[in-house]
Structure 1
Amino acid sequence: MLRNYFKIAWRNLLKHPTTTSIHLIGLTLGLTTCLLILLFVQNEWGYDRHLKQGDRIYRVNLIRTTGAEVEKSGITPYPLAPAMRTDFADWSKVTRIHADRDLSVLVSPQKILKEDNVVFAEPDFIDLF
């Protein structure tokens, strides 16, 4: 039976190549779009699910508008975390991190230690994550 379906499909392809091509392109685009939407939704729903209280963790972003240019980043002013600790007392933990591309530490006059991609974090960072 399945063999007959393939024969009929092949005959229709040879008989109406333009229509069959349009149908196949539409089917391919539809399935690809559904798959991409599924992957996007799965990524959004799975974000921070591995953490115990992932639904209670938020990130503060900075949106800076300079003329016509809008810049979005995770960099916030230094005094923001202490202000959040005092103004929002019901929040259990507030932490901040600082990423540095290159770090040079003078160990001794003859030795300089260089590290790439260094991240500094507060002690509450360990409790949150």
Structure 2
Amino acid sequence: MARVEPIPVTVVTKAGQLLALDADTALLRLPANSGHGHPDGQHCVACATRTDVRAMLYDLLESAKRELRPAFTRVIVDASAVPDPAVVVAALTGKLPAQALRDHTVARLFYLADAA
């Protein structure tokens, strides 16, 4: 089995600092926790699933494997709308416990290259 090179992930935490994208870059936008009846920042199971960066990276990887989206060699995560982007960084650096096989897959195949 060929060794797969880990994919760098850059997390953008401030609005207006999105980096230039090229054909080899995938973009994930994490939405704010708003829109269905609670203040931003309040814990909500529905919102948590929409901003689970490990699940989103896993889905991105699976979509590329199945040729449902173009292949990519790096990922930019726009976390500027998330109330606490430190949670996104923690998920990518192993500071949050793995909950599923997808979390271990993401830990093995992606790494945090930069958080701006």
Give the TM-score, by structure 1 length. Answer: 0.27
- Larger strand fraction of residues: 1
- Larger helix fraction of residues: 1
Give the TM-score, by structure 2 length. Answer: 0.29
Higher relative contact order (CA 8 A, sep 6+): 2
Larger Rg: 1
